[in-house]
Amino acid sequence: MSIKRHIPNFVTLLNLFSGCIALIFAVYGNFVLAALFVFLGIFFDFFDGLLARKLNVQSPLGIQLDSLADLVTSGVVPGIIMFKLISLTVDAPDYSTYSDSWNSIFHWQGFKLSVLPLIGLLIPLASAYRLAKFNLDEDQQTYFKGLPVPANTLVILSLPLILEYQNNDLMNSIIINKWFLIGLTLLSCYLLNSNIKLFALKFKDWSFKTNAIRYIFLILSVIMLIVLHFAAIPLIVALYIMLSLLDRKNIH
């Protein structure tokens, strides 16, 4: 039995392992370390498919395993982080009075749970649905239909990193706003499962003519990262969608 056919699956499991560690840090509110391990998981996610193609050991098992790993690393973890961020924006209600509003608090044996932040958990649900559709869609070999879950994850993870490292009052006031966070959650759920065709960063050759949209995207992304740091990440994803819409006739 050839060992090489197990190598990509092992890398996929490293993605899942990284996602599990990130989940632990996210639950405890350490968003920086959670982001670090998610980035590591996305790195493994990129290379498992590359290894499978290079070693010519692609398999249905690997496809399913990849999506299961992505669901944790790029689905559950950003959902928990969004849950935590929305929780930060919710004012503690008066526990002495009963409230039937959507921001009421559930009590159960001393455990308190606010309802509104649960909206953040729509992200893992939308991610799971998107991944399941991707596994059944044979057309998405050279392009994506809807925003890939790792791209959506990078947007969510950029928010606590902006708060932690950029210390900009305007950006902080936008991020620590429950309506912004709820709106972003709903938008991300829509984009994940939309029919918008987005180009894939797969190069069949290195010519500029064939890959002009990819080169333009990568160059602008690097410039934005240098200038804006973590704040560039949501803008890069927005640029990715915009360029895809402008070049939709060539995406197939």
Average pLDDT for residues 195-222, to the nearest whole number?
A: 87
Q: Does residue 86 contact residue 184 with C-beta atoms inside 8 Å? A: no
In tens, the pLDDT along 31-54 reads 999 999 999 999 999 888 788 778
Q: What is the mean pLDDT of the chain?
A: 88
For CA atoms 65, 125, 149, 170, the dihedral sign is negative
In terms of pLDDT, which residue wins out, 54 or 235? Answer: 235
| Mean of pLDDT values over 9-18 | 94
pLDDT number for residue 3 = 78
Q: How far apart are CA 17 and CA 15, in angstroms?
A: 5
What is the C-alpha to C-alpha distance for residues 127 and 71, in angstroms, rounded to an integer?
Answer: 7
Q: Tell whether the model's pLDDT for residue 24 goes beyond 70.
A: yes
Is the pLDDT confidence value at 68 over 60?
yes
Question: With contact defined as beta carbons under 8 Å apart, do 62 and 9 qualify?
Answer: yes
Chain segment 130-189, per-residue pLDDT in tens:
999 988 887 776 789 999 999 999 999 999 999 999 989 999 999 999 999 999 999 999
Would you state the pLDDT for residue 97? 42
pTM: 0.89
Q: How much is the pLDDT for 206?
A: 75
Domain boundaries, the chain: 4-91+116-201
pLDDT for 225:
97
Question: What's the confidence (pLDDT) of residue 93?
Answer: 45
Evaluate whether 52 touches 11 at the Cβ level (below 8 Å): no
Q: What's the pLDDT at 73?
A: 97
- Please give the average per-residue pLDDT across 103-110, as a whole number: 61
Please determine, looking at this structure, whether the domain spanning 4-91+116-201 carries the CATH number 1.10.10.10: no
